[in-house]
Structure 1
Amino acid sequence: MQHPIQADIAAWDEILDHRTGSSGDAATSAWLASAIAAVGAVPHIDAFSFDRLIPQKCSITIDEQCVDGVPLFDCLISPLVEAPLCPLAIGKGIGVTTFSPSARHPGTEALLQAREKNLHQGIVAISEGGTEGLSLLNADQFSRAYGPPVLQVDGRHKDSLMRAATNGLTGRMSFEIDQQSTQTSNVQTTVRGTDPSLAPLVIMTPKSAWWTCTAERSGGIVAWLACIRHFAANPPRRNVLFTANTGHELGHTGLEHYLREHKNLGATAHAWIHLGANLAAVDSILRFQPSNDELSTMGITHLAAVDIHPGSFASIGARPGGEACNIYDEGGQYLSLLGSNRWFHHPDDRWPHSIDLDRITRITDAVVGIAKDLAA
């Protein structure tokens, strides 16, 4: 199976910008639809209206130093904020803190709490991801923006910005952001089962990201395509619905659209397989998120058969991470896989250096096996 997986990863990586609503996002939909049609299934590109934010010049200026950055996409934006800088814990002016794309990073937790309290005039968030540079934070509340303006900046500016905050220097934050009314899209197909009276299996994965994000996103994509190819050649007993959703980085916008268009499917599907982030990443620590004991046993058995052993487990009954949380909120049953990635949300997450091809090949084999059992 390694050859088609490598080809799928390379095809993903050739599209440089996978941000929701971008031309690259549209190109991804077209590519996935073509891959679906190539095995005799019928693709559906489900386009819907979307208001896209396009940052232009966004920066913080202190004395003569100007540091460019990227705004959080779910904060309330003011074009210009001028105030003294201070450590975030002070709770006033322009707060300065560190963060990571991981919600469990203490700086990220402090940032989220400060945004909820809304005491600052603005916040400068300094990236501390697994790789030097700027790793962006997802905008989980994209449709319900809140809190002060937040500018995310490259970690190389940490020392100078922290020093400026300690000394109470005045900073000037400026945000130039264009808004574009456009369309974005999910990609779907259905493989009909021999007994359509049975509740369907749904297999989903995100298809958008901040940058190219190859290790983050391509693992889910290749396993999703492998399941389509398998069932196109081997009809399942129950219907299997496939959806690759845009808007992952913006509050799961595409999945929310899908669930609105398929009312009650969240709760009534036989099960959902969620193919989440970083399954293809080098040194990824797999996180396993099942909704019940039966799905847990099934998933662990198939993963162990290919010598894949999760390093992290979500407790049954606890709200999971990633798009599986939407299914949890709907009262549905799910098996969710995701992992870690030192290039998480970073521009340098590219083929081949961020990819463990052997590992994602084995994970894909396990996912197909799980899907076969659930579709029976």
Structure 2
Amino acid sequence: MPPRGDERAMITRRTILGATPAAMAALPAHAQDNGALISQSLALLDRQADLRTGGAGDLAVADQVRANLRAAGFRTSSQRVDAPAFDARRAALVWAGGEVAVEPQPIVRTTGAGGVRGALRLWRDASDTAMMADAIALVMLPMGRHSQLLGEPIRSILAQVAGAAPRGIVLVTNGPTGETIMLNAPIDGAGLPAIPIAVLGPKPGAGALSVARAGGEATLIIDGDVRRVRSPNIWGAIERDAPYLVVSTPRTAWTRAVAERGPGLAAFNALAAWAPQALPAHSLMFVSTTAHEYDNAGSHMFFERHAPPPDRVALWLHLGAGFAARDFHEVGRFALAPLPSPDPQRFLLGSDTLVAILRQAFAGQIGLEAAYPASAGAAGELGEVLARGYAPAFGLFAAHRYHHVEQDRVDKTDPDWIQAAIDALKVTLARALG
């Protein structure tokens, strides 16, 4: 586990060498406030039904972000983002004697109340593709921590199956938990087949798999209302006669997403409370973006209209998903035993000039201690930050075992691991900007 109490404070003091005097003086005092901010952030997420763009959970978190930024002295602004939403009346795969709830895949194509019916056929590899014609295709994805519909290998599999013209597609999202994994998709539906698509985990979908293996028929029902919602990008700025430190984090998700979004939200709030006094020689901009589950659509809009140009940014920090999530022993098929330690499948990546600082600041934090240079390649929103010419820049990200799964609750993370990451982030920022 990460160091606790006085031990953690000693590590922070040892690794702060090279920071500015103002930052060194500010770090211990502001660190005392992080516990309340971390608890506030995690508790708020755990109370929400989900964080989908434009939903009640998203807007509640947006209100908290705005209030925290204002309390820290930031002038706040917002940008409206329009996104699709779907209110389901019924979403199910139905067969003689049984049915299972499915998750409609955005961008949702409805079937009407009667659904679409056909032979339920199992797709395991390319040799099964021809049999998908006029069928309900039950597509076995490979085992993985899936997150994106049009990421590989799902993109290629979907194209193969859709090319056979099935009546509907149900993607079986084989992941560590066996539960249904929801998948990000482009906000405009670009690249998606004009076929009703749903996702389903192998645990709840065991009955459907048996029907498909027996050669039975099924009806895919995706019935409900497609509508549009609004959600804000929110940012706070403190303007000084100096380049910016920009700190960004996505806010929305498919579920409560406590371990997916909680560490980023908590670190965002803690750094916003700390930075105005600790980093007086820089302008500050902290941005919370919406529509993450629509392939980072909110971030794209912020970049296009409101982000300061690269020559006005001294450093960009991106707080991505799940970087302080719990590790688990995999003790059987879809059987997980929680461990008192963070998942090591988490990544820290930054501009080549920052790697030495990052490795020192995050020493001893499993997974994060092996900081990678950006020249090795970055994906997601951090990849876009770097691709748009912002440098130096760095970020943290992960896809933990409950990533995009309904059971991603407060027990899937720990405040101590979040605090350890925050301490190291403060050290890194103080040194990099000092």
Q: 1:213 to 1:14 in 2, by over 3 A?
A: same
The percent identity for this pair of structures is: 21
Kindly report which structure 2 residues correspond to 1:142-181, keeping only aligned pairs within 5 A, or say none: 143-144=189-190, 146-147=192-193, 148-181=195-228
Query: Which stretch shows the higher mean deviation, 237-246 or 324-333?
Result: 324-333
Q: 1:154 to 1:222 in 2, by over 3 A?
A: same
Query: For each residue in 1:203-241, what CA deviation from the matched residue of structure 2 results, as whole angstroms up to 9, or x when unmatched?
Result: 111111111111110100111111111122334322221
Q: Do the aligned residues in 2 keep the contact of 1:192 with 1:236 (CA within 8 Å)? A: no
**Residue 204 of structure 1, aligned match among 234, 239, 248:** 248
Q: Do the aligned residues in 1 keep the contact of 2:355 with 2:372 (CA within 8 Å)? A: no
What is aligned with 1:137?
183
Query: Which stretch shows the higher mean deviation, 119-128 or 274-283?
Result: 119-128
- Give distance in 1, aligned partners of 2:192 and 2:157: 11
Query: For each residue in 1:137-180, what CA deviation from the matched residue of structure 2 results, as whole angstroms up to 9, or x when unmatched?
Result: 22246542512332112432443322322333222212113222
What is aligned with 2:431?
373
Q: Which runs of 5+ in 1 are unaligned?
A: none
> Are 1:98 and 2:136 an aligned pair?
no
Amino acid at match of 2:278: N
Q: Do the aligned residues in 1 keep the contact of 2:255 with 2:406 (CA within 8 Å)? A: yes
What is aligned with 2:397?
338
What is aligned with 1:87?
122
TM value normalised by structure 2: 0.76
- Give distance in 1, aligned partners of 2:144 and 2:231: 24
What is aligned with 1:249?
293
Amino acid at match of 2:359: I
Query: For each residue in 1:119-140, what CA deviation from the matched residue of structure 2 results, as whole angstroms up to 9, or x when unmatched?
Result: 2422212243333532312224
* Count of aligned pairs between the two proteins: 369
Query: For each residue in 1:309-339, what CA deviation from the matched residue of structure 2 results, as whole angstroms up to 9, or x when unmatched?
Result: 4277656335423321322442433312112
The structure with the larger Rg is 2
- Give distance in 1, aligned partners of 2:88 and 2:311: 38
What is aligned with 1:281?
325
- Give distance in 2, aligned partners of 1:295 and 1:149: 46
TM value normalised by structure 1: 0.87
What is aligned with 1:185?
232
> Are 1:115 and 2:158 an aligned pair?
yes
Q: Which runs of 5+ in 2 are unaligned?
A: 1-30, 328-342
How large is the Cα RMSD of the aligned pairs? 2.8
What is aligned with 2:5?
none
- Give distance in 1, aligned partners of 2:209 and 2:267: 43
Query: Which stretch shows the higher mean deviation, 175-184 or 125-134?
Result: 125-134
- Give distance in 1, aligned partners of 2:390 and 2:303: 12
- Give distance in 1, aligned partners of 2:254 and 2:54: 11
Kindly report which structure 2 residues correspond to 1:220-299, keeping only aligned pairs within 5 A, or say none: 220-262=264-306, 265=309, 269-283=313-327, 284-299=343-358
